[in-house]
Structure 1
Amino acid sequence: MRHSTTVKRNSLATAFAKIEENLKVRYLGIGFVWAWIYCSFETSAVYPDRDGISINADPSWLVSATVVVAAMIIGGIVLRKTDLSTSKCMRVAAPVLVAFGTVLSGIVPLIGIEPWLLYCTSGITTGIGTALICLMWGDALSRLEIEQMEIAVPAASLVTLLCCLVFPYIQGVPGILAVASLPLISGALLKLFYREREGKPVAARIVDRPERGIVLDLVRIAVVLFAAYLLVGCLGAMSESEDLVQQVSGVDVPTLIGSGFGLVLAICFIMFSVRIDFSSLFRWLAPLLVLSVALFPWQEVAPNFISTTIICIADTSMQVIAYIYVIGLAKRKAMSPVLGIGLTQGFVQLGVLVGNLLGVWAGHAVSEGTLSVFVLALGLICLISFATMLVPQGAKKPFVRDRPDAPDDEWETKNQCARLAERFGLSTREQQILEYLAKGRSQPYIRDELILSKNTVATHVKHIYQKLNVHSRQELLDLFEGR
């Protein structure tokens, strides 16, 4: 019993040590951008007249949602060949534009007038600023190692969740300034990130002409994201700004629970999926989205609570996995990370925009009796069903065995691994992984080659180290060089 407890403690210590090694606060800046997107439109200090979670909160909402779509897609295309780490002016201007637009939108209701010029200025500045800072973070995260990125993106989502526990409940001018500080924090972390990476090799190169199949798959994923977020936006626009649970507790419980479960789902997917691709995730999310729509027509407390929670689960997990998947494509030198983030996130915002417009129209039509909410729900279910057909199927890469004409040094390494496996009792799979480690291959590379999950490869590597009595990759390589 004591031995089992000691092993568990050592495993937890090893896991935390690995997270600490691969995760730094400066890597979490995109989480503050996501937090701003949620908190700015949930904070009553910024939008006191919000009616539902939709663009009808304020004219600047509509302008911002429209501008960010164009800025994301156009920016991704125009800047795809640009080294954004050298764009110091853009790095400063983007967060300042978002903060300025937030303050401007917040003070308009305080002065008691509705100047369209100020609303348009607020929407344009926040839309352009948000798009630019998201594109820069896509470029920045592509410079990390795969294992670092797979820790940083979920951790950034956790930052968003924590911010949502505090910022929406700050009232008055302090609330406006608090929300406006989020993009500034993100910009400061981006500056620290690029400063740390100065002089280091870029993990993802800029590709002039990405493979045609990759581009087509990316477009299909963007369309699927559009359909999913159209559903999210439509249901959000038709929902009450505060349900009964929130009125009683004072906290947006469905959003917090759903975001938490969505983050856990994304982490489990990263750890245990044999390959991180969008198709594997969406096979699980599509039924959840259909269930949330099916529950929506019944506006009792329990169905509404479950529907909202499921939507938040899908939103959080899709956001995390879509970022990791797109940046993973860039790291495999298949495409520019800026183009991938611009296209997918642009279609996400387009789905939110169209969904909110549809929700506002449908809400009026339902209240007037010209549209049945059940007919609307059926239409949304059909939309998700057809979108599922567009999800590209991730092709699994077969394991290529060593050829008979392999170089002599490869055969020598293979023979050394066979001798070590026999001497220390390694399994067949552990011997296979040891051969890759002896060649200096990383764990992400081994995952792709052998089609294994991250957790499975990490477990095998841990067992190999224990059996060979080594504690690092360098000690393992030294073991081969010394034989």
Structure 2
Amino acid sequence: MLRETAREAFRALSKRVPSYMLNFEVRPGIVFGFTCYWSWVWVVFWSSLFYAEAPPASLFGVEGLDSLGALWFFSLLFMSATLLVISCLGEKASTPAARTLFMALAASLTAVGTAMVAFPSQLFAPSVLPQAYAFGASLLGVGSAFEMTLWAELLACLGSRQSVVYFVGSTVASVVAFVLLVALGTGFSRFVTACLPVVGMVLFSRQRGLVEGVARASDRPADGDVENRSARAVLVDALALSLFFGVSYGVMKGLFVFEGGDVIAFRDQLNALSMVIASLAIFVTMGMFRMDFRRLTYQVALPLMASGFVLFPAFAPLNLVGFFLHQIGYQYFYTVIWALWPVMASRCRVSRMRLVSLGIFGVQFGQLAGSLAGAFIIGLGLDSQGLGLVSSVSVFVVLVVALFAFGNPVPSDGWITLRPFGQHEERRSKFRQSLESLSTVRGLSPRETEVFELLARGRNKQAIARQLCISENTAKTHIKNVYRKLGVHSQQAMMDMIELDAKGK
């Protein structure tokens, strides 16, 4: 019943937005499973439910740094280390056996670690409370690394368009769960939160066939279809972008120290509102306006993040407005990064598991390093002039990154080459031009065009069904329609037509 309700809601939504955004079969298991994970993340790290349970123990002996808390520090530290290990494993981490192990570790370690930081005084004696709490935060970080990597790999297999749609849908649903759990504010809420990672992994286990199906039927582009880039260059790009993003958010977190129950509650409300606004904004700009990734970051995300640093040294409530704007830019940029990973993975023969784990490592390690730097600055007790200088330097760094990373006009060098929702590179091959011209001239629908491109890359009916997340009967129907509109009767005849058309260009 719930599954059919979700499908009907998705169909109703698809009638109100362009067809190229939602022309795939929704999988409620992905939406609900991803929602469980993000609800867990935001309740644990973005609310006061878990930080309030931390034992009153000094972490660093420095007032500014202690404001971060043991939960934040140890979880991010061990999460970053785990992600780095997964990335170094390379192809070994992409096997079915490895995924099974990762699923078990993700569910068990995250649930146990969350329970340890949720109920420390009930589970441990006062003499070992700080050490046990830190150990629980460490387990939580290790388990979360596995779980986030598995979800990121799955979305990377589905492509940029589905990544954004699932990410936005799960974010909005997670906000509802976040608000409800925080509003209850009881031990029961913390218990439910500890169970969410287990539920998420159970739902993921029913979708893992998508990942392994794509791995068996490699969806690498044909020769000359995309810009030829080395695996190392793609990994460096992913790491650099993620580090910048993570450090920016971490610095802002370290600079803003919320004290008092009313202020913290207001912060939680700002977080929830910023997530909804950013999700809707990314859906509109990427889907309806079809903005490329350069414009998404250069014209939307980075200005929002820079405005947060500009208003940071101001007096209340302007500083809260700055925090709010930065949160919107953060969530917006985060969605862009998740949409970039599928595109980057298509540019070289690097495993998606390695790419996404390295990207997430950059985000998490950047957040840790940035928050330590921000908290250290606050601990120095700077006056308004000093804080204004920090603000100016932060904005300058954002602008420099925007200029050199996103402003490069050369298509082969900058992030401008990456386009959302199947948009193509400006320098296209004759093969690509032929596919597009034949699709237009022969009147292929958006879905038939996708099937046409996969057929041109040598995919069979089973591979097409797996990659597009449709049934084999549906794939067979689309293939028949493509052949009929092209006036051919076989895949080989279709390839001959494409080759003949390419020679004339």
Q: TM-score, normalised by structure 1?
A: 0.74
The partner residue of 1:225 within 242, 251, 257 is: 242
- The 5-angstrom pairing of residues 307-456 of structure 1 reads 307-331=322-346, 334-366=349-381, 369=383, 372-388=386-402, 389-391=404-406, 392-395=414-417, 396-400=425-429, 432=440, 434=442, 441-442=449-450
- Give the equivalent residue in structure 2 for 1:77: 88
Q: Is the 8 A contact 1:365 1:371 kept in 2?
A: no
Q: Determine whether 1:128 maps to 2:142.
A: yes
**More deviation in 51-60 or 154-163?**
51-60
- Give the equivalent residue in structure 1 for 2:100: 88
Q: Determine whether 1:97 maps to 2:109.
A: yes
Structure 1 residue runs of 5 or longer lacking an equivalent are 1-8, 418-430, 447-470
- The 5-angstrom pairing of residues 293-308 of structure 1 reads 293-301=309-317, 303-308=318-323
Deviation at residue 121 of structure 1 after TM alignment: 2.1
Deviation at residue 481 of structure 1 after TM alignment: 4.2
1:393-448 residue CA offsets vs partner (Å, 9 max, x unmatched): 323333555899x9xxx9xx98xx7xxxxxxxxxxxxx7364666995318969xx
1:157-184 residue CA offsets vs partner (Å, 9 max, x unmatched): 2233223222233333212212212211
Once residues 429 and 74 of structure 2 are traced to their aligned partners in structure 1, the CA distance between those partners, rounded to angstroms, is 52
Once residues 208 and 351 of structure 2 are traced to their aligned partners in structure 1, the CA distance between those partners, rounded to angstroms, is 18
Structure 2 residue runs of 5 or longer lacking an equivalent are 1-11, 57-62, 222-226, 407-413, 418-424, 455-476, 490-505
- Give the equivalent residue in structure 1 for 2:501: none
1:291-336 residue CA offsets vs partner (Å, 9 max, x unmatched): 11111111221x1232122112112112211111112322455432
Deviation at residue 42 of structure 1 after TM alignment: 3.5
Once residues 376 and 269 of structure 1 are traced to their aligned partners in structure 2, the CA distance between those partners, rounded to angstroms, is 31
Shift in alpha-carbon separation, 1:433–1:237, aligned structure 2, 3 A: farther
Once residues 87 and 169 of structure 2 are traced to their aligned partners in structure 1, the CA distance between those partners, rounded to angstroms, is 25
1:270-295 residue CA offsets vs partner (Å, 9 max, x unmatched): 21465753674244322222211111
Q: Is the 8 A contact 2:51 2:69 kept in 1?
A: yes
- Give the equivalent residue in structure 1 for 2:468: none
1:7-29 residue CA offsets vs partner (Å, 9 max, x unmatched): xx998268699849522122233
Once residues 224 and 397 of structure 1 are traced to their aligned partners in structure 2, the CA distance between those partners, rounded to angstroms, is 22
Shift in alpha-carbon separation, 1:334–1:74, aligned structure 2, 3 A: same
Amino acid at match of 1:22: E
Deviation at residue 72 of structure 1 after TM alignment: 1.3
The partner residue of 2:70 within 47, 59, 73 is: 59
Amino acid at match of 1:36: W
Once residues 38 and 235 of structure 1 are traced to their aligned partners in structure 2, the CA distance between those partners, rounded to angstroms, is 17
- Give the equivalent residue in structure 2 for 1:466: none
Amino acid at match of 1:231: S
Deviation at residue 102 of structure 1 after TM alignment: 0.8
Shift in alpha-carbon separation, 1:482–1:196, aligned structure 2, 3 A: closer
- Give the equivalent residue in structure 2 for 1:264: 280
Once residues 177 and 314 of structure 1 are traced to their aligned partners in structure 2, the CA distance between those partners, rounded to angstroms, is 31
- Give the equivalent residue in structure 1 for 2:502: none
Shift in alpha-carbon separation, 1:38–1:475, aligned structure 2, 3 A: same
Once residues 64 and 175 of structure 2 are traced to their aligned partners in structure 1, the CA distance between those partners, rounded to angstroms, is 17
Report the 3-state secondary structure (helix = DSSP H, G, I; strand = E; otherwise coil) of the residue aligned with 2:206: helix
Aligned length: 425
Once residues 307 and 373 of structure 1 are traced to their aligned partners in structure 2, the CA distance between those partners, rounded to angstroms, is 14
Q: Determine whether 1:165 maps to 2:179.
A: yes
- The 5-angstrom pairing of residues 281-300 of structure 1 reads 281-300=297-316
Amino acid at match of 2:253: G
Q: Is the 8 A contact 2:274 2:328 kept in 1?
A: yes
Q: Is the 8 A contact 2:248 2:370 kept in 1?
A: yes
- Give the equivalent residue in structure 2 for 1:478: 484
Once residues 297 and 118 of structure 2 are traced to their aligned partners in structure 1, the CA distance between those partners, rounded to angstroms, is 38
Q: Is the 8 A contact 1:276 1:325 kept in 2?
A: no
Q: Is the 8 A contact 1:144 1:203 kept in 2?
A: no
Amino acid at match of 2:379: H
Report the 3-state secondary structure (helix = DSSP H, G, I; strand = E; otherwise coil) of the residue aligned with 1:142: helix
Identical counterparts, % of pairs = 13
